[in-house]
Structure 1
Amino acid sequence: MASNTVTPPAKASPLAFMTKISPSAYVYTPPSSSGDDNNVTNNDDPKLIILATWMGARDLHIAKYLLPYLSLYPSSSIILLRSEPRHFFSKSAAPRDVAPAVPFIKSLFLPSPSSPSSGSNRPEVLIHLWSNGGSLLLHHLRLALTPQFLPKYVIIYDSCPGQYRYMSAFRAFSAGLTGVWYWIVAPVLHLFCAWGWFWHVLIGRNKTGPLAHLNRGHNDWEKLGGKEVRRGYIYSEGDELVGWRDVEGHAAEAKRAGFKEVRMEKFGGTGHVAHGRGEENQRRYWGVVRGLWEGSGLT
């Protein structure tokens, strides 16, 4: 990796170098390549990186992915979308929070003499989403952009997408709750998750509900087929929130829908959104990211 990683000031949030444009959206524009700046624009870097994180992700945990991206692709602009529980409870929260990112994206891809021709299959955007929370925010961002203005992209599904599971839903919504707050909120969450299981699993047969809707949206060839260049799935048998069979099932559906360049990267016992932990896994993980962007090593 490059050595010019952005380092936040001491005692500041690891995200302090980014500009917050909504309660859940941040943007970063790399330093100008003019003068003696070391961050000379690299045409091989993504023009834009979109990172859509898992629900309730903390700054420090987000930085463990964000900072390596800054090192790998120092000339890329970045959009960070943070998922929160309210995005699942309110239909208006996610669209409202991602909306300010749309003008930023459009400003990067306004037609210009240097823009790639419409017939080119070269991607300009690298998208990385984690868990079903990131899946939700990305879905609303793509709806806001419309297919006509969605740049060609490579996408990485990390620990997702999953189907509705009672205990998986409970673990996701209760993550971070401790002490007395856990015992106060847990019964309400159990009722909510049981209601979801009754309607979307028992009655709906996993064909109804927000997760089923998101899963279909990610495999909508008519809307995305002309824009998605390739995709990859990073997942694990050790993930207790999103089952590996659900991920492989979604990938199989993608191939049937017409998405041909699909890579499966299955880790062993790594946990949810934690497949890059440990020196060996870290090398493998970021090798997968680079390979997907460059189009090498596809299976």
Structure 2
Amino acid sequence: MASNTPTPLTKANNPLDFMTKVSPSAYVYTPPTSTNSTSQNNDPKLLLLATWMGARDVHIAKYLLPYQSLYPSSSIVLLRSEPRHFFSKTSAPNDVAPVVPFVKSLFVGSPTPDDKTKPEVLIHLWSNGGSLMLHHLRQALTPEALPRYVIIYDSCPGQYRYLSAFKAFSAGSKGVVYWLVAPMLHLFCAWGWFWHVFIGKNKTGPLAYLNRGHNDWEKLGGKEVRRGYIYSEGDELVHWRDVESHAEEARRNGFAVVRLEKFRGTGHVAHGRGEGNQERYWGVVRGLWEGRLE
């Protein structure tokens, strides 16, 4: 039986070079026809990966390359999230639009699998940034373009929290840059808190809208096979209670196959780090895809 631990990250000048960049925030990859995988029939036809806001290439690769190692015959769509996607109504839709023809080429008009209950797509999204990009891709696709899938919510979804929002938008800012942007970010986050929490009671605003969308049974129930949540009490950006609340709402809405995997002490989008965590993390990924929910 193959190990759950993926091949270690390889060194490269740019670890995303093997993919084709189709927009400022979107990449696609088609495996060579000569790919020889003993698990080819069990690999997802498509890996749809939506990363957290501001993720760097080297950090994305720590998930992307292991995925490629686990499922070498899978096509890949990678969606990156940037702060501008939260500030502009057109930025994210414009960035995901070039991905639509690629996804349609894989599924629209293709033969229906013999096993109509088997998923063909594995979706993994990280943080609220990944949640946003997945939402816009779903909006751009026709219902028949995305077949049955398994989805993993990693470090998400979260409700609006002032300090969490400030930490997320200021991540990567240092020194003089941090002190220049910090006042503007505090004003922006305070405005967001007033809108989301004080006025909306966490029922209005972009995050509330995204969270409801992920639990919309009428739109998603026929396509989602199962879902998992990977999260931790040590996450300072997305509170673990928000994740569990979303999972409970999913069950109430009809999403019956829901797995919660809580790590201890791991940080935001870093639950696979630390002793023993990597094997556990990728074991959860494989278990969800294969339907082993123990």
**TMscore range, shorter length:** over 0.9
Does 2:12 correspond to 1:16? Answer: no
Alignment correspondent of 2:47? 49
Secondary structure in structure 2 of the residue aligned to 1:167: helix
Which of 184, 193, 196 is the matching residue for 2:192? 196
Match of 2:127 in 1: 131
Pair 1:105 & 2:103 matched: yes
Q: Secondary structure at the residue paired with 1:265?
A: strand
Is 2:179 the counterpart of 1:183?
yes
State the shift of 1:4 in Å. Answer: 11
Segments of structure 1 that go 5 or more residues without pairing to the other structure are none
State the partner residue of 2:223. 227
SS of the residue 1:230 aligns to:
strand
- What CA distance in whole angstroms lies between the structure 2 residues aligned with 1:255 and 1:88? 28
Shift of 1:121: 1.2
Q: How big is the shift at 1:29?
A: 0.7
Q: Percent identity?
A: 77
1:75-154 alignment to 2 at 5 Å?
Answer: 75-113=73-111, 115-116=112-113, 120-154=116-150
The Cα of 1:200 is off from its aligned counterpart by: 1.1
Aligned: 1:31 with 2:27: no
Deviation string for 1:213-248 (max 9, x for gaps)? 000000000000000000000000000000000000
Higher relative contact order (CA 8 A, sep 6+): 2
Quick one: distance in 2 between partners of 1:154 and 1:14?
26
- Given that residues 6 and 282 in structure 2 are in contact (C-alpha distance below 8 angstroms), is that contact kept between their aligned partners in structure 1? no
CA deviation after TM superposition for structure 1 residue 147, in Å: 2.4
Q: Distance in 2 between matches of 1:88 and 1:183?
A: 21
Cα shift at 1:40: 6.7
Compute the TM-score of the two structures, normalised by the length of structure 1. 0.93
1:30–1:11 CA distance, 2 compared to 1 (3 A): closer
1:166 maps onto 2:167 in alignment: no
Q: Which amino acid in structure 2 is aligned with residue 170 of structure 1?
A: F
Root-mean-square deviation over aligned CA pairs: 1.9
Query: Residues 11 and 154 (structure 1 numbering): CA distance in 2 closer, same or farther, change over 3 Å?
Result: closer
Aligned to 2:204: 208
| Structure 2: tracts of 5 or more residues without a match | none
CA distance in 2, matches of 1:109, 1:208: 35
Paired letter, 2:214: H
After TM superposition, the score normalised by the length of structure 2 is 0.95
Please tell me the residue identity of whatever aligns with 1:109: F
1:107–1:40 Cα change, 3 Å: farther
Q: Which residue does the alignment assign to 2:260?
A: 264
Residue from 230, 244, 251 that aligns with 2:247 = 251
SS in 1 for 2:31: coil
Count how many residue pairs are aligned between Structure 1 and Structure 2. Answer: 292
Determine helix, strand or coil for the equivalent of 2:15.
Answer: coil
